Every structure is written in C-alpha cells, then in structure tokens.
Chains A and B, each alone.
Chain A
C-alpha cells in the first residue's frame, strides 16, 4: 500500500531546471509544501520511473524508512532529469559528503563534546560489576592491533593472558576472539561474543581452547558453558570447507554446543524485499496479504531471532551458565542475540538511557557494519541487510507482550530506525570504531542520543512501571507463532489511513502528565500549608488557604478535557476525526464502479490529491 500519493505538477518547470543542485531544493521544497515532511537524500533507497501516462510521467521514490512517494511530472524530459539527479544525490561516494558532516544543530563545541560523552561504556561495564575478581579490562586491542573491528576496550577473563588472547584471535575469523558482552552479577554468568573459529575440518587451537576454558572458569556457579552458533547447521558445516566452521565439542572441555538457526544477511535482505513487495501492493486481499507475509518468511526470521535470545537467557537465568555467542563474523546475528538477551535479562536496557547504552555497546562498539548494512555510501548491494531493523522489531514484539516493562515506546524505536538511515548524526556512520575515529566523527558530527533525551517526553511509555521490573528482572516472552504480528507502524509508518484514528498512547501520556502535575501541586500546597500552620496567625491563614486551594484546581481543569479537543471537527464538517475519511479508505473504490454508470453520483475516487504549486 502506498503511504500517500501526491501528484506533483511542475508549472513552468524550466524555471527550476537549472543544474542538478537546484533539483534537490526543488524536490525538497515541493515535498515540504505537499506533505510537510522532507525526504533526505540518504533515505532514498530506490527511484523508479514508471511508463508514461496521460497526466505525465510517474516517478516513484522508495525510502529506507519504508515511505513510498509518487510524483507525476508532466514532461517526460523533466522527469528524466529529476530521476537522474535523484539517483546521483542518493549515491554518496564519500563519508564526508553525508548529511552528518554538514548538519549543524547550533550547539557549541562543549555541548558537542558533552553529547558524545553521554554514553560511557566503561561506566556501563562498571554498572554490570566489571572489572571484578574474574573479569578484567584488557589492553590487548588498545591500538586495534589484534582486531580492527572491535573497540579498544575489551573485557576478558583474568586468567586469559595476552598470548592466549593473541592465539585465540588468530584462530577466529577477522580476529574477533571471545570477549565479554554482558555480565550478570547475580548469577555470575557472562554473555560473551566472538566470530566463528577457523577450524576447517580438523584444525584446533590450544589458545582458543584455553580462552573458552577461562570463560567457563570465570563463572564460579557453573562448570560448563554454552557455545551458541546462531547459524543454521548446514551453513556452519559449509563454512568448514572454507577453513572456517564451528567448535568441535571433543576439543573443548565442558562446553555444550548448540545451533539456533538464524538465516544469513542475504536471506534476510530478500525476505524484507518480499515483505515490502507485498505491503506495497495496492488493493490487497486479506488472503494475498497473509500468504505474502508467509512466503516472505519475515516473521519466521523475527521469531528465530527471539527464540535464540530466549535460549541464551534460559542458560543464564536457569542454569547460571555462561554463554558464548557467535555466527560467522560475529557482527550481525551475534549482535542481535547478545543485545536481545541482555534486554531480557536486565531491566536497565528497558529504560530510555539503557537502550541507548545497549545499542552503543552491542551494535556500534562491537562493529555491526551500519555503513554497509544500511548502504550509507554507494557500495556493494549484497552487503545491505535489515539486521538492525529486525532487532528493533523484536524489541517491539516484546513491548507488545509486556506493555509495562519498557520506559520507551514505539515512537522511540521508529525514531532510532529513522536516524540509523538518515546519516544526520555521527553515531551510526562507518562500520567500526576504528573507522569512526579516523573520520573524526566526534569533532565533525553530533551524537544522536542527547537529542533523543531532550525530547524524551515523546518517547516515554505512559504505562511504564519501574516496579514492574526491578533491577535484573527477567522477561520471559512467549514465542508461540501467533504472538508475532506484522509491524504496521514500521512498514506503513507514513500510511496514515491505515493507522488507528485515535492514539491511546498520546491520550494516556497527557493524562499521566496531568496527574503528575496535580500531585506536584498538591505537594507544594501541602508544604505551604504546613509552613503556614506553623505561623501564629492561623485564622488569617486559613482564609488564605481556602482561597488558594480552588484556584489551582480551576486552573487544572481545562487540560483534563483535552482529550475531547481532537474530536471537535475543525471547520471541515465532512472530515471525521484525525483523518478518518472515506476517501482514505479502500471501500471507496466501490463507488468508482457505480459512479461511472451513474454520473449523477459524486465520485469519491480513491486517490490522487492534486497539488498545484
């Protein structure tokens, strides 16, 4: 389904057609005029020119945030020019050309520095209780010598000496040796992450075996540990032929090896492609939609990711066993499973700040290749994959099951998704920390998190109750198939006619705000009363209080009725509340049919809102 259709006519288009640079402005200006939303070039995923029609040449822009925009350009030649310039603009060759490098939010330098310091991972490990008797900070990768795609600061078992680390890293794909991702201080169990071993059919590495032993010994509560290979078994076996593979249980003492079967980035990419094809089809029947949803396999993949996280969490919470997670390179599926596992185990990651920390830790610092996966630069299309989107979708599914467990709401996830692709902030640029340092992102760009924190009111879940999940409360999601739903607000975020016409969250948010304000007022008044009761002239004061009290009440009354305000039709009697209009909806198609036969009947054809500039 198309989000909205705008036919856009370019009157005297020659006036605008001067050079490519102007084009972007023209487009953005027109877009802003027509839908009060701009499309960033970086958001453009694909531009398509459709066959010429009588009204002009249709141009379809698909965005990475799943918005689809239709233009009708009256002249084919103009359309072609627009098409070409859009293609060029959406393909950036160098990082320095990305929006983040020119974006200026009017912050001074110290604010910029402070913004980048908002999330401090050393602080985060401290919160987890690391370093401690078993785990320590290793300086082995201080200069990115051992592993280029890992951060500088890595936490490893105290018993893992430098030679072991070096040896182990040589035995792991891309040098990504086992390191600590999350430490559960109650169970003393750890989530560790790495890449696949270079075991081939028979190779072994004593240092790597020592490394794993060190990890399991660092957990005093359980002598065995789990090794989770998040790939399907077949894929892992195929990798052996290329000298890679998986751990042989015979060579490692006390490990329990488990495949969990999440598909690779290519399968995920084509799955999303299929999903978008289905959801982008106009006038879909319920059955076409469901069978499309099924054959895309998208929800199956989401379920697989969440199932893997549940497996990990059970090992830690039930058996107090440490878990080592890897896939092939240890930056896609491994990031998904480790971060979701930590989210299920630790309620801190269900707060707004905690979620930022989680993304910084398991995604950004451990080298999820945001640049390649989100196609920030014009690169290999085979590297694009919606791995991070799947992570957000898994979190959304958890939010649906546990409406009170998360401090943040759906809008927060959508906003993060938006900015992963917008390239407006520096956080997600590049593929790993080393690259980010070379780009000097902290000096040249801004961090997203302070901006999100500033507007955190928008992202708060009014139903959140911190009591629901005290520290380290485990979430035990039910991963039966029917619990997974199509995420309409993600894939049809801009298709307003499909959304509920009234937002429960907004209303509840307002109410809880007002309640808080009332509580505050009461406390203030109580304090005043106390103060005044202490004073000698009580009679005079009482009068004062009586008059003082009703006043704030009266002041507070109007906002209580706020919820009714959006329901009052705004001078357009035909329109119903919040965009509910027959013309928004599919059943108006029925009308076309008899409107044609009956010219007396007014046509309510679905469709094309004409726009003149």
Chain B
C-alpha cells in the first residue's frame, strides 16, 4: 500500500482553522502520509509561513464534514475545474475530533476539496497496520533508536527482590512466546516450581497467563501475583500443577487472598464458556473476594458519554449532574481505587499475599496491580519508577494497547475492542496526586502526555498488544522509545511536580464520593480556558524554585555583585 493512494488532494489554500480558545487562522492546508499541516503566510508570498497546525493524522478520531452550496447556480460538473467550483461559492467545513479530545474545525473553500480532504484524513487515520504507523518513520535528530528501550529490564527488578528473598526466580521459559503469547520472555516465578510445572499450569489458565509475581512487598515479604482466570469449565476441572504453583507461594497455615475483578455471578457464568474461578476445595489456603470492575464496551461507552457531556456547555446544572452520574465514570474510578486499596491493604495490613485476576488478566487485573503498587511503593511514585511500572505492569504484561486505544471517545466507528482502561488507571493516579500533592514526583502533565501517547504517538512504546507482536514488528529496533524522549533533562523538567518530597509511606486515599473528583485537566483540557490556572501553577513553581537552591544562589550572587571582589564572589557562590 502506498500512502499517496490514500491522499486525494494534498494541498488546499486559504483554509480557515478554528479551535476553541484560539483565534481562527487562515493558511495553506497540506496532507502528508502522517500529518496534517496548516501554515499561514503572514507576509504574503515569498515569506516563509508559520506552521499553525501540526497534527498527527493517527490522532484523528472522527471526521465530520458539512458542505454548503452558497451559489444559486451550480455549473455542470463534467468539465469543471476546482477553480470554478470555488467561484460558485461552494465550501465545506470539516470537524476533526481528535483522540486527545481536542476538536478542530477547518473551513475549506470548494466542496470537492473538502470532500477529498475529509476522505483522505479518514483513510489515513484508519490505517490499521502497525508497521505503517508513524513511529516507524519518525527519526528525530537528537535521539538514538536504541535509547530508552532497555531502561527497565526485569532482571534488574528481580535483583531487588533477590536481595531480600531467595523464594523467587527469574524464568525465561517464555522466551519464544509459546507458553504464553501475551507474556514477556522473562517472568518472575516461585523458585521451587519448575518450568515444566509452569508450562502445565499455563495450560490451565486462559491465554496461558499462569500466576506470576507482580510485586514483592519488602516490608513484610508478602507478594502480589497476577494471572488470568483458571479454565475450570462446567466440569470443574482441576490442575494439580496450578494448585502446586499457588500452594508454594504460601507457607504452612498462611492465608492468601484471590481478588477476582468480576462479580461472583459473572465468574460463575464464565464456567459455561470454559473459564471460571478457583474453587475453595482445591485451593484451601486462598480466600476469594469478588470486586466487580467495569471493562470492555460498557467502560468505553462510559468514556464516550462523559466526553459528550463535557463538550456540552449549554447543559443546565441539573442536566450536567445527571449526565455526570449516568455516565458512571466516577463510579468506575472509585471502584478501581477501592479494589487497588483492598489489594494493598491485604499486603500491607493483613500481611497476606494476593492473587489478582479477572477473565483474560490483561485489563482490570493490570489496573489493580499497577495501582496497588503506586499506593504501596514509593519507588513507583518517581518519574523513572512510574515509567518502570508502566513498562512492567502494562506494556510487558500484555495490555493490548493496539486494540484498546484504537479509537477514543469521538469515533463513530463500530466499537470493537476499545476500552479506556489505561485512561482509567491514569485518572486514578491523578486522584492520588490530588490527595497526596507532595508524594508523586510527576505532575498532571506527565499523565496527560501518557494519555496522548497511548492513543496516538510519534514513539513506539505503546504500539502493539504484547511483547510477541513487538518482536515480530521489530518495534524496539525501528522506532524510538517514548521514555528516551521524556527523560531528556529539558523535557523531563516539564513533568516534575515542584512540590515533590520523598514520602516513604503507603498512601491510603479516601474513596468517598466527596473525595473523587472529575479530572478537569483532561476532560476539559481543550474546553475551558486555563490561563488563570496555568499562571497560578507557574507562580507556585516560581515560589518553590525561589525557595530552593537557586534562591540561595541568586542571593549569593546578588550580594557578591555588590561586593565587587572576585574573591568574595567565589566564596559566596559556593
């Protein structure tokens, strides 16, 4: 396939771009294989234009077009040049609704051009082949391709655990992705269980996702495991290897908790389709808790409804509140936070190990395990630690980003497998950052960037559904890593929380409805003017910076200036 086949009209002049909160600009619109550009020419011809819009076409979620014919006379179409159409006064408006929830409007002179542009954008934005996506073409000058891809090897994470206990080992039984196609090559498993037993246990778990270690709680040595549902089926099948695997995790007389992210009813029903849950009789040391979390289509619909409500500024207070209620998004946030807190509480307070799973073990399971770690582990609350957590618990753990983030809230396309679980996770982390404003090293801007990049990105980090696919597509060889870009000192500075101060403790959030807030920074990012809030944030930053080293330095240098003696200056600046 050639991109050029999809582009029907490459450039149109005199296009009016408008988007909420900014004055409209007129300029030349240009479509490339991956971008939509609009450049204005302020000084007329000859002068280089300024680029007003640089939009990754992958970011476009929905294209809406409206054409109007202003002329009363429509010239015959047959021998009609575009110029004539324009003279007849026809024009069109394209509304681009983006995955990052931004909405743009393009007023295009000429009906023909308008329709061409719209269909080109539609075609380009729905290219589904991973290898055709922009990260494979993006080559920034100041980054190297291999940078950032191996920042967080599981080996390194395992070494931290190995330093404290010898009960776990790193196994590469999945190096060719045959045991479990959605697991990475390396997994951490009980030292006492052989690879052979693991292979058999994997056959008893949906998609081969046998229980592996997700988090080791250093305070008391309890662990959090994750897996998919056991394939007990209607005949209540058992699997001795799976029972052994889970049995080894607990000592004699110890108790563990299985947090099933489905309702008891749903778990029971899953037996009809070959799934199910761990029966008490076969796993006597484990106690099952059901905490239903929304997933899949209902979650996507919740997201869609919320965004719809947020975009309707004409809503009366009652309508707004009732739509906020009926979309249920905040309920999902509360449920996710409560379940993660429950898992964290089991580990930290009950001193019991935990196994988390839902059905496939790639969605709500990861939401709970990742969130519980942010709550428990101060290491996950730094910029780098959080990246490591995302790498380990979302990307390598096989959250199907490609399927889940194919479409965002505006798309008119029929829903397939889209679900905003990652967004829900980011929202929960944002709630934590609101309740513990000093405990997270990063600010809202990092969460927003992660959201944007999960849905459409220049980088390969969130491409594909699992490590196996990433290997096949050679993502790590042929695309840049988001982390490499984020971790450049200049870039990283933008994401830091000026108020951060290391907090070694567990952060237990309040999950009362009064404490759960709508994430305005995300859902109203392009809707409400944020000038005053941004200025306030800048002021806060300034105050904090003024309070830290620079203040002292500048104080020093100011003083030394008045001293006008080189010797004194060095003394003061030290």
Instruction: List residues of chain A with CB under 8 Å of any chain B CB.
Output: 1, 279, 284-291, 293-294, 297, 299-300, 303, 401-405, 462-463, 465, 468, 478, 480-486, 488, 491-492, 495, 497-502, 504, 507-508, 511-512, 514-515, 518, 521-522, 525-526, 529-530, 533, 542, 545-546, 549-550, 553, 556-557, 560, 563-564, 567, 569, 576-577, 580-582, 584-588, 590-591, 594, 597-598, 600-602, 604
Measured CA separation A35–B555 after assembly (Å): 44
Sample (6) of A-B pairs whose CB atoms are under 8 Å apart: A1-B514, A286-B330, A297-B317, A299-B321, A482-B310, A580-B436
Q: A482-B310, A601-B255 are in contact. Are A567 and B320 (CB under 8 A)?
A: no
Residues of A close to B257: CB separation below 8 A: 594
Q: What is the CB-to-nearest-CB distance from B516 to chain A, in angstroms, rounded to a whole number?
A: 6
Answer whether residue B166 sits at the interface, using C-beta atoms and an 8 A cutoff. Answer: no
The verdict on B556 contacting chain A, using a C-beta distance below 8 Å, is: yes
- Contact yes or no, A515 B547, CB < 8 A: yes
Q: Which of A293, A577, A587 contacts B321 (CB 8 A)?
A: A293
Considering the chains assembled together, what is the distance between the CA atoms of A511 and B501 in angstroms?
Answer: 14
Q: Which residues of A contact B517 (CB under 8 A)?
A: 485
Bound form: Cα–Cα A290–B514 in Å: 9
Q: Find chain B residues with CB under 8 A from A577 CB.
A: 436, 503, 505, 507
Chain B residues contacting A580 (CB-CB under 8 Å) are: 436, 505-509
Q: How large is the interface on B (under 10, 10 to 19, 20 to 34, 35 or more residues)?
A: 35 or more
Q: Is the CB of B559 within 8 A of A299?
A: no
Q: Are B536 and A542 interface neighbours, CB within 8 A?
A: no
Given A290-B513, A502-B436, A602-B350, 17 other A-B contacts at CB below 8 A?
A: A286-B333, A288-B513, A300-B318, A403-B533, A404-B539, A462-B543, A498-B510, A499-B515, A501-B436, A507-B499, A508-B499, A518-B555, A529-B559, A553-B556, A580-B505, A582-B341, A587-B342
- Residue from B316, B502, B508 in contact with A576 in the complex, judged by beta carbons closer than 8 Å: B508
Contacting pair A482 B289 (CB below 8 A): no
Contact of B514 among A279, A291, A403 (CB under 8 A): A279
B309 to chain A, nearest CB (A): 8
Q: Which residues of B contact A401 (CB under 8 A)?
A: 532
B540 within 8 A of A: yes
Give every chain B residue within 8 A of A468 (Cβ-Cβ).
Answer: 535
Task: Find out whether the CB atom of B562 lies under 8 angstroms from the CB atom of A584.
Answer: no
Interface status of B384 (Cβ within 8 A of chain A): no
Chain B residues contacting A300 (CB-CB under 8 Å) are 316-318
Q: How far is the CB of A511 from chain B (nearest CB, A)?
A: 4
> 9 nearest interchain CB pairs?
A289-B513, A403-B536, A481-B320, A294-B321, A290-B325, A300-B317, A511-B547, A576-B505, A286-B331
Q: Is B282 an interface residue (CB 8 A)?
A: no
Contact B539 A465 (CB under 8 A): yes
Given A478-B528, A507-B438, A542-B568, answer yes or no on A585-B540 (Cβ-Cβ < 8 Å).
no
Q: How far is the CA of A320 from the CA of B237 in the complex (A)?
A: 82
B 346-379 to A, binary, CB cutoff 8 A, 1 in contact else 0: 0001101000000000000000000000000000
What CA separation (Å) do A569 and B556 show in the bound complex? 34
Question: Is B434's CB within 8 Å of the partner chain A?
Answer: yes
Is the C-beta of B284 less than 8 angstroms from some C-beta in chain A? no
Q: Which of B317, B331, B563 contacts A287 (CB 8 A)?
A: B331
* Interface pair B563/A522, CB less than 8 Å apart: no
Residue of A nearest to B520 (CB): A482
C-alpha gap A594/B349 in the complex (Å): 14
For B501, list chain A residues within 8 Å (CB). 563-564, 567
Contact: A604 with B518, CB < 8 Å? no
Q: Which residues of A contact B436 (CB under 8 A)?
A: 500-502, 577, 580
- Given contacts A481-B316, A581-B508, A590-B289, are A526 and B562 in contact (CB under 8 A)? yes
Q: How distant is B428 from chain A, measured CB to nearest CB, in Å?
A: 13
Q: Please name all residues of chain A whose beta carbon is closer than 8 Å to the beta carbon of B319 when the two chains form the complex.
A: 481
State which of A286, A303, A492, A511 has its C-beta within 8 Å of the C-beta of B543.
Answer: A511
Q: A300-B317, A526-B559 are in contact. Are A284 and B565 (CB under 8 A)?
A: no
Q: Are B563 and A480 in contact (CB under 8 A)?
A: no
- Neighbour of B555 across the interface among A481, A501, A502, A522, CB < 8 A: A522
| Distance of A175 from chain B, by nearest CB (Å) | 36
Closest to A502 in B: B438
Contact check: which of B317, B321, B439, B528 meets A502 at CB < 8 Å?
B439
Residues of A within 8 A of B192 (CB): none
B325 in contact with A526 (CB, 8 Å): no
The contact string, 1 if C-beta is below 8 Å from chain A, for chain B 432-460, is 00111111000000000000000000000
A515 contacts B532, CB within 8 Å? Answer: no
Q: Which B534-551 residues have C-beta < 8 A from chain A?
A: 535-536, 539-540, 543-544, 546-548, 551
Name the contact of A549 in the complex, choosing from B349, B434, B511, B572 (C-beta under 8 A): B572
Query: A550–B574 Cα gap in the complex (Å)?
Result: 10
Are the CB atoms of A582 and B437 closer together than 8 Å?
A: no
- CA–CA, A403 and B320, complex, Å: 24
Cα–Cα distance between A165 and B416 once the two chains are bound (Å): 74
Known: A1-B514, A290-B324, A515-B547. A585 touches B341 (CB 8 A): yes
Q: Is B174's CB within 8 Å of the partner chain A? A: no
- Interfacial chain A residues near B142, Cβ < 8 Å: none
With contact pairs A563-B501, A576-B508 given, residues A297 and B318 touching in the complex (Cβ less than 8 Å): yes
